[in-house]
Chains A and B, each alone.
Chain A
Amino acid sequence: MTTPTDRSDAPRHEAPHASQDDPRVMLDRDLGVFEPVPPYPPRTEREAEFYTLRDGEMFINMGPQHPSTHGVLRVVLKLDGEKVVDLDPVLGYLHRGVEKLCENADYHHVISQVDPLEYVSSLFTEWAPVMAFEQLLDVQVPRRAEYIRVLSGELNRISSHALFLGWMALDLGGLTPILWSFIERDEIVEMLASLTGQRMLFNYFRIGGVNGDLNHDFMSRLGDWMSRATEQIDSGMGLLNENEIFVRRMRGLGTIDTKAALRMCFSGPNLRATGVPFDVRRAHPYSIYPELDFDIPTRTEGDCLARYLLRMDELKQSLRIIDQCLHQMPDGPIMAKMPRLLRPRPGRAYAAVEGPRGQYATYAMSDGTHQPFRMRIHDPSFVHLQAVGLMMPGHLIADTLAVMASLDPIMGGIDK
């Protein structure tokens, strides 16, 4: 992510233009293996500016083995004492070339290829390509399948948010909340496992429906959990919401305003925390969401606390949706009638879903064969992580990971 971005919001440091043979760019001593400076001359203006040290500044490598970067992310921090002057996320440690893998896979295989992208909310990474392929194939998904998709998707959203809340506290040094929120996550993951067969990478959605119908084990676990979910979530999160240290650290941290957020292509809770009530479920309705009654919580502060509290509100809305799904669940088939080998007509399709992190989208092109000709995946974590460079300068090193955690990036989706 060394491409120059418009950084009008961040404090701009007057950097002398450094060219390739500027001696100040490369350090005057041999680079150790731990130096974060890349072993090649700077390729862009931004890179040259970033890797030029002024008096009293130092680089520090955070990651890829740092204990609390979520996944294998490396962030090069430019520090002035404890203050972060600038930072440069270095990506690619989890790159698998998923988009290319998908182009060489059968349409059915794509689902299992995209599963590990956002490994804490896999159902949404399946949902977007499946919807795109259904548009290509012009398939009508049975209503029961749509209800099951929404039901399991919202469960997955809750489990993802629960994990976020725990991580957030862990990055601020709280040991307990992560284990408390893992209770929610574990119960949901177990019930999804009884529905889909796996705990993490579900591989559950199919083009034209879902893989299996609701079963007794899932329904009994779900009913058991729903009866106490609200109190359980409230009691678990009371540990943080009323904690003076936590609130004081989060308030006013990593603020981003609406304009900058829109310019950085924010979506999901991070955008809604700046006051824009944009939710793909309402803005570009899909599946059965138009029939369901739920609110889109927004907050105006745009700081870490707002992003955190917004996800808390979303948990309650997800519980509402699950409740309605259970009450309105129709009977019927769970798969449309489909040929075994899929050969959609040549064309293009775009589908977006509202994942726990924001707009998760797929753009697929078909050339009439049994494989997608091109497939591109838009991942919200990627654009959110890009904005860390806007939010971070001026804050302290302790807050780097808190700001990052509040954006809730998943490295699998970022590196693809």
Chain B
Amino acid sequence: MTVISRGWDRLTLSGKVIFTLVPLLLALTVGLVAAIAVLGGPLLDVLAANLPIVRFAVAATAILLMTIPTAFLIIYMEMKVIAQMNLRIGPDRVGPFGSLLSVVHGLKVLMKEDFTPTGADSTVFTWAPVVVYLASVMTLLVIPFAPGLYGQDLNIGLLYFFAMAGLGVVGLLMGGWSSYNKYSLLGGLRAAAQVVSYEIPLTLSVVGLILLAGTMSLNQIVLNQAGWFTDWYVFQQPLGALIFFIAATAEANRTPFDLTEADSEIVAGFATEYSGMRFGFFFFAEYVNVFIMSALTVTLFFGGWNAPFAWPFETGLTIDPGSLGIGLILLIAIVPVILTLAFAAPFWIASSRIKGWQALIIGFVLTNLFIVGLLGAWAYVELDWVAGILWFMLKTYVFVFTFVWMRGTLPRVRIDQLMDFAWKWLLPAALLNLFVTAGAIVVLNAIDRVPT
């Protein structure tokens, strides 16, 4: 009991709020499910009548909750991958292969003292991390994770994305300005200059793609790329994809463009004076941004949730369980037993050291794995959102890995080189890409090959 009360006393205000809100939300969820179960019809009718609102609420909550494991995973990935590149071992104490270390980091920032420096504008100082975090989280609303699995299918999804990505810089500037620290100020101003500059090539690089796709809805863009991987837009817009990825790196403030928090120059940039969970929000937002930028690169140029190949066979698995009648019960009762015995038999026969009950346990475990695998395969084939989310995450984490790889390899560019690169190289290249694409569409339309 004393342990709990001492731990509670050590928590900062934000920690107390979070530790109170999370159980409360869980209780509310359970209560809601119970209410639906008891009241049934009438409540469901009310919810169904307000479907857009319910959908938005659920999507926003789901995305907010999704950012936490995503950030943990990417932080762990970064620690481990960079450690391997540095010829170190990396985290290996908490959890298997140290995989829970980022969770412990998360708890740590909740426990740390959360102070506001003397002379800081405390209101702005407090709200800056919130703005940064929410701006990055809200961009996730329009990203289609799988067929039908997206927050909102806005017809101006891409525009919304750029608007929200641009909002994040306001938070960085707020944090930098309100900290009453010159390093923070430099970091905040660098962030503003950098993000505003790179937003232009970032936006221009996808205009060619918008011309090709004829839509700004991310969902529709993904649907356009269905089929084999040759249908992905990266093959029609290679330059655009390259510019987009480079500009996205700068937009997410990642190495080699991480000037806003260049630790060897301006200590920690805008986050210098932040501690505790307020720093945690900045930290989270950075890694969520990495995920978002990877996800958007995949969505726009690498086919989104589409598999790189079209499934070549007809896969209608139309078994109506009800038609099996008593056979279903026999199936459920008998097949696992038979499978367990079948998997156990070879072990029991092959080695005299394995006793019968040990072989049965092995058989049981293998049966379970087999059935899970079978169900997974069935889900992949039959439920298109399972296949979609699998491919989407796979492709996204390839790009997350690329971000981490760059961080481990490259030094940082200088601020004037950064600006030169944006305005003298990326912007003309993006314009060239746009003109070539537009010209190609006009020419092809003239000879009536590509209807747009």
Contact = CB atoms under 8 A, between A and B. Distances in A.
Chains A and B belong together in one complex: yes
Contacts of B119: 32
Interface stretch (B144-152, B373-381, B413-421, B434-442): B413-421
B9 interface: no
Nearest to B256: A245
Contact of A172 (B88, B409, B412, B415): B412
B389 interface: no
A177 to B, nearest CB: 8
Interface string A43-70: 0000000000000001010000011100
B178 interface: no
A243 B86 contact: no
A173 interface: yes
A176 B86 contact: yes
B417 A397 contact: no
B414 A243 contact: no
B264 A175 contact: no
A401 B182 contact: no
A169 B262 CA distance: 13
A6 B408 CA distance: 42
B414 A249 contact: yes
A398 B416 CA distance: 10
Contact of B259 (A169, A183, A239, A398): A398
B212 interface: no
B88 A398 contact: no
Interface string B215-233: 0000000000000000000
B22 interface: no
B263 A68 contact: yes
Contacts of B255: 173
B86 A170 contact: no
B411 A169 contact: yes
A179 B88 contact: yes
B86 A180 contact: yes
Contacts of A174: 409-412
Nearest to B190: A82
Contact of B85 (A60, A82, A170, A176): A176
A180 B87 contact: yes
B415 A170 contact: no
B74 interface: no
B407 interface: yes
B264 A82 contact: no
Specify the main secondary structure of chain B where it touches its partner. Answer: loop
Contact of B417 (A66, A169, A248): A248
B264 A171 contact: yes
Interface string B376-402: 000000000000000000000000000
A301 interface: no
Most buried by A among B85, B411, B417: B411
Given A58-B182, A179-B87, A398-B259, A170 B414 contact: no
A113 to B, nearest CB: 33
A85 B413 CA distance: 21
A243 B413 contact: no
Given A173-B256, A173-B411, A396-B416, A67 B182 contact: no
B86 A173 contact: no
A180 B190 CA distance: 31
- Interface SS of chain A: helix
B408 A67 contact: no
Interface string B257-270: 01100111111000
Interface string A363-402: 0000000000000000000000000000000001111110
A245 B264 contact: no
A36 to B, nearest CB: 10
A175 B86 contact: yes
B411 A82 contact: no
A246 interface: yes
B359 interface: no
Select the residue from B262, B410, B416 with max chain A CB neighbours within 10 A.
B410
Contacts of B183: 60
B215 to A, nearest CB: 37
Interface in A286-320: none
Contacts of B143: none
A265 B34 CA distance: 83
Nearest to A250: B411
Contact of A396 (B256, B409, B414): B414
Contacts of A239: 409
Nearest to A61: B182
B234 interface: no
A398 B414 CA distance: 7
Contacts of B267: 66-67
B82 interface: yes
Given A60-B182, A173-B256, A245-B410, 9 more contacts: A60-B183, A68-B263, A68-B264, A169-B411, A176-B85, A179-B86, A245-B413, A249-B414, A398-B412
Interface of B: 82, 85-88, 119, 182-183, 186, 190, 255-256, 258-259, 262-267, 407-417
25 contacts: A32-B119, A60-B182, A67-B267, A169-B411, A171-B264, A172-B264, A172-B412, A173-B256, A173-B258, A173-B263, A173-B410, A175-B408, A176-B82, A176-B408, A179-B87, A180-B86, A180-B87, A245-B411, A245-B413, A246-B411, A248-B417, A249-B417, A398-B412, A399-B414, A400-B265
7 A-B pairs closest in CB distance = A173-B412, A174-B411, A179-B86, A172-B411, A68-B264, A398-B265, A173-B411
